[in-house]
Amino acid sequence: MSTSTRFVTNPGGQVGGEIRVPGDKSISHRAAMLGAIAEGTTEIRGFLEGADCMATLDAVAAMGVAIERPGAGVVRIRGAGLGGLRAPSAALDLRNSGTSMRLLAGLLAGQGFDAILIGDASLMSRPMERVAAPLRRMGADVRTNEGRPPIAIHGGRPLEGVDHRLDVPSAQVKSALLLAGLQAAGRTRVREPAPSRDHTERMLEAFGVKVDRAAGEVAVAGGARLRAARIDVPGDFSSAAFFIVAALIAGREPLTLLDVGVNPTRTALIDILRLMGADIRVNNRTDAESEPRADIQVHPGGLRGIAVPESLVPAALDEMPVLFAAAAVADGDTIVSGAGELRVKESDRLAVMARGLASLGISVETRPDGLRIRGGTVGGGGVDSQGDHRVAMSFAVLGARARAPIAIDNAQNVATSFPGFTDLAQAVGLGLSEAS
Ligand code: S3P
């Protein structure tokens, strides 16, 4: 991942057909971590073999957990039990993966050994006090470097269950606290101002842990034991999002995305796009397992700009970059506010998307917590994705509607969440190529 990749788009995509996207990133991370601390062998199918989830697998392997990968997307984890992880012999390098770092900080806060968590340049600049400070309130010894990684955890501290109230809805922080709570005395409760993705809660239940859930809050008791589980990971809605928008703005015929996770804490992009006039159908929904899944059928059609209701933003935050791409070719203005968290993702996604869109001739106003984008004619040229996977894929989709090719630099991190993106983009009819 050290070499830089350039995407080049060719205008005039003709999107349509039927595809599957790779497994869900959030669910894959959690399956690897919970499998590692469960008793018995967990089998995961549809595991996302992207660089982020591989960083989690490598980290748990470095703590003595036996992992087998008998086939594509299949991972077997011989769980060590909650008290069975071993001290890693070196710092755990989580590369580009914020989810790995924040969730592992919670998991390791109550262990009996020391650990240091590091990552690549992007991860080393991301805020970590949001997880370290509440863990300290539970009695953990967790230090950051002026709020950023490395995170140094000094193990062997007894943890106390605490009531936490999050200022910002964050599934990563909530999950870290629940994982620490499994190892704390008493109850650990997390309250949040808006629902963040609830994959940890659902998966803990699949591993046999009792989770108390009520509106806006979740709690676990310390001392629980996890029983190994079989986890079938659905397609990642956040990866599907790129093709949902591609089908809308560059479709020739309907595009169907098979077996995508449609957990309601993730799918607000569909609601937003419908408000913009999109025809998106959710078919064959099943709720048989812990995560709902469905086929998503997208019918091409024009979009109109809207003021996006702020209530829909938290459950569409990772999809904002591709929504901005859609807004660039919508009729009229699209206004997003309440999305300030985008500034502390893999890049400052408000700034990087605004700069890229402006350089392609789109009129964009940047606000502290959002963007106002006036739909228009997209020109060609060059944009720098700043090593942010979702920014790179958003411009790759928008390229179908540009008047000339777009060169997208620093696209190598697309492999963190979406291995095979370029091949799939070509298969659905986007004119995308890749150069190193
Ligand atoms: C994730 C939570 C979200 C999301 C990230 C994955 C997770 O971050 O942006 O891509 O798997 O828990 P926050 O929890 O910081 O909102």
Question: What is the whole-number distance in angstroms between the Cα of residue 431 and the centre of ligand 1?
Answer: 30
Q: How far apart are CA 172 and CA 190, in angstroms?
A: 12
- Core vs surface per residue 327-339: b (16+ CB within 10 A) or e: bbbbeebbebbbb
| Structural contact between residues 331 and 301, judged by C-beta atoms closer than 8 angstroms | no
What is the pLDDT confidence band of residue 1, given thresholds at 50, 70 and 90? very low
> Mind listing the pLDDT tens digit for each residue in 350-359?
999 999 999 9
Residue nearest to atom 15 of ligand 1 (CA): 170
Global pTM value: 0.98
Question: What is the whole-number distance in angstroms between the Cα of residue 173 and the centre of ligand 1?
Answer: 9
Residue 170: CB within 6 Å of ligand 1?
A: yes
Q: Is 348 a catalytic residue?
A: no
> Mind listing the pLDDT tens digit for each residue in 177-188?
999 999 999 999
Query: What pLDDT sits at residue 436?
Result: 78
Pocket test residue of 24, 25, 26, 34 for ligand 1, highest count of atoms within 8 A of CB:
26
Q: How far apart are CA 250 and CA 244, in angstroms?
A: 10
> Mind listing the pLDDT tens digit for each residue in 227-263?
999 999 999 999 999 999 999 999 999 999 999 999 9
Residues contacting 127, CB < 8 A, separation 6+: 147, 148, 344
The larger pLDDT score, comparing residue 231 to residue 289, is at 231
| Structural contact between residues 175 and 164, judged by C-beta atoms closer than 8 angstroms | no
Tell me the mean pLDDT in the region 24-38. Answer: 98
Question: What is the whole-number distance in angstroms between the Cα of residue 301 and the centre of ligand 1?
Answer: 30
- Scanning the structure block, which residue is given the tokens 């942010």? 388
Query: What pLDDT sits at residue 335?
Result: 99
Tell me the mean pLDDT in the region 154-160. Answer: 97
The answer on pLDDT for 2 being more than 80 is no
The answer on pLDDT for 82 being more than 50 is yes
